[in-house]
Amino acid sequence: MQSVAEQRAQFSTMLTRPLPDDVELSATTLGGRPALELRIEAPGTAGTEGATRGGEDVLLYFHGGGFVVGSPRATAHLTVALLRHLDGRAISLDYRLAPEEPFPAAPDDCLAAYLELLESGVDPRRVVIAGDSAGAGLAVVTLLRARDAGSPMPAAAVLFSPWADLTLGGASMRSKVGIDPIFTPTAFEWYSDQYLPDGDRSAPEASPVFADLAGLPPLLIQVGSSELLLDDAVRLAGRAGADEVAVTLEIAPREPHVFQHNDSAEATAALERAGRFLASRLPGDGAPTEAHQA
């Protein structure tokens, strides 16, 4: 098996793409961690929804990579696709990675980033959260921990192929073996061992599919039907619905894990729907809306 350093380099090489000329990138910090801030250069070039709102929207993005690999830059094209529907900026967090920094380092960093946004005066009604794979799981955990701390919720969250069960208990972890073109259960076991070598992997802060999700903001979950994590998404959506959370689950037939990375019509359409979902949950024309409290 490749070393962690080799896996990180390969992940970066495979996923990092050139970004359009109108995207501004700058280094920043949030919650005590490095982060990448992204903006669309010229006013008015954001999506139609964003162009009609006052104030500034903030998208907080958590990248995927099994808690071991990945970076804000490697998934910046996903962040930009969502940002085009908003009127403001995106911040993608470079949270600490395992095995050097195992659980709970990553969720601690994500919560600190969200809380610092609020403490800096950003209106939570203008904040949305998104993430892919492990980052999508971290997004849910961040919402849970912020809720439990009594902090206001953001306006909405988008989750691409969330890894929400570190126990690997979903039926698709077995039924999609040989169908998933990217992963095997052994790979997920290895990532779990790096991230949470000791402790209870069914604890809600590790596996939010087992959490009480009451009080979370509206969720959009997108997943491919061909992936081992299909049932993570399905069960997470079911748990959200049972807990009275507004949730939309989209299952893309014959698509793999985080298929939004692909240059395909389905990927483009899925990102478009996700961006519009986030924009539709934000205040229109600067009109005040009731904050979603935990």
Q: Alpha-carbon distance 158 to 291, whole Å?
A: 18
Reduce the secondary structure of the chain to three states and give it as a string.
Answer: CCCHHHHHHHHHHHHCCCCCCCEEEEEEEECCEEEEEEEECCCCCCCHHHHCCCCCEEEEEECCCCCCCCCCCCCHHHHHHHHCCCCEEEEEECCCCCCCCCCCHHHHHHHHHHHHHHHCCCCHHHEEEEEECHHHHHHHHHHHHHHHCCCCCCCEEEEECCCCCCCCCCCHHHHCCCCCCCCCHHHHHHHHHHHCCCCCCCCCCCCHHHCCCCCCCCEEEEEECCCCCHHHHHHHHHHHHHCCCCEEEEEECCCCCCHHHCCCHHHHHHHHHHHHHHHHCCCCCCCCCCCCCC
Task: Examine the residue annotation and report whether 225 is marked as an active-site residue of this protein.
Answer: no
Of 133, 172, 207, 226, the catalytic one is 133
**Helix orientation angle between 76-83 and 265-280, rounded to the nearest 10 degrees:** 50
Q: Alpha-carbon distance 95 to 97, whole Å?
A: 6
Active site (catalytic) residues: 133
